Amino acid sequence: MRIAVDAMGGDYAPAEIVAGCLLAAQQFPDTELLLVGDETALRAQLPAALPANLVVWHAPDTIAMDEDPAKSVRRKPDSSLAVAARLVAQGEAEALFSAGNTGAVTAAAALLIGRLRGVDRPGIATVLPSRNGWAIVCDVGANVDCKAEWIVQFGVMAAIYAEEVEGIANPRVGLLNIGEESSKGDSRSKSAHELFQAAGLNWIGNVDAKDTFRGVTDVIACDGFAGNLLLKASEGAAEYFVDLMRAALTKNWQTKLGALLVKPGLRQMKRKIDYSEYGGAFLLGIKGLVVIGHGRSNAKAVASALRRTRMGLEHRLVQRLETRFSPPEASVAVG
């Protein structure tokens, strides 16, 4: 397995990306990592003797975190992201990982690798913590102004992802909405609700944002605006909660003493909601495996994301999606 890594993308690139790749190279000796970026910058972060499964692939240019996504990809064909995407398009690598500008990664994937036949819009799938572990949300921001049909496709793709990569048999699929009844929501939600019933999924109906944390569903389908809102709101609420807790625990000597005692329990809790334990979001619907890391990815998050990327390759996620969206013609006519 070969993974092309955009080594210049991310808030802490290239240092943390390179460090994460070194970790992953050691953990997964069967996986080859193509570290794409400015060779001088990358060598400065690497040991003199590289691991056998890590290769530096020079790309002189870089796309910044705040550049216009589509334009930057078109204007910078020699950027680490564009070069890494072309390695996948040309079959030199089977997967792309980038912790760079999400919009630019999405644009590079769509423009340079291309969409799977039958998929209208690729969607970003990521995880939201819940009582049972995680729920998969798709789309979380690649698409706004969505049609109901696209939302249903996000649900179908995320269900295949949940089954293949997360190992959830017959995953439950729900539509993110503002109430459980089928009559709830805006007109698009109502159309999507109807289409979902015929989509051949383990469809459980509408789920509201509160229930998603209660583990009522494995897959949450939504348009990118709502999905992004859900994700950011939960991140914001968690951050706010941690702040409040810190203040509560350092209130006086008594609570400070108590804080020392509860620390091991809280550390375990933090692990449960820590994105770096999970790592990456999958861009589903592309003719190659594409995993997007959090902009703030550190080495540990990069290594986690590469482990998940490897799982996607192992479980042939892209091939499964392809089969579902454009099934091969039956070789023998029936009837």
Q: Pick between residue 129 and residue 293 the one whose CB is nearest to its own copies.
A: 129
Min CB(195)–its own copies separation in Å: 18
Closer residue to its own copies in complex, CB, 185/279: 185
What is the Cα–Cα distance from 56 to 84, expressed in whole angstroms? 11
Tokens of 297: 């990815």
CB-wise, 152 or 176, nearer to its own copies? 176
Tell me the closest approach of the beta carbon of residue 220 to its own copies, in angstroms. Answer: 11
Q: How far is the CB of 208 from its own copies (least distance, A)?
A: 5
Cβ nearer to its own copies, comparing 270 with 316 = 270
Q: Which residues contact its own copies by CB under 8 A?
A: 129-131, 141, 144-145, 176, 178, 185-187, 189, 208-214, 224-226, 228-241, 243-245, 247-249, 251-252, 254-255, 257-266, 268-269, 272-273
Query: Which CB sits closer to its own copies, 129 or 279?
Result: 129
Minimum separation from the CB atom of position 272 to its own copies (A): 6
Tell the smallest beta-carbon distance from residue 14 to its own copies (Å).
Answer: 25
Q: What are phi and psi of 84, to 5 degrees?
A: -65, -40
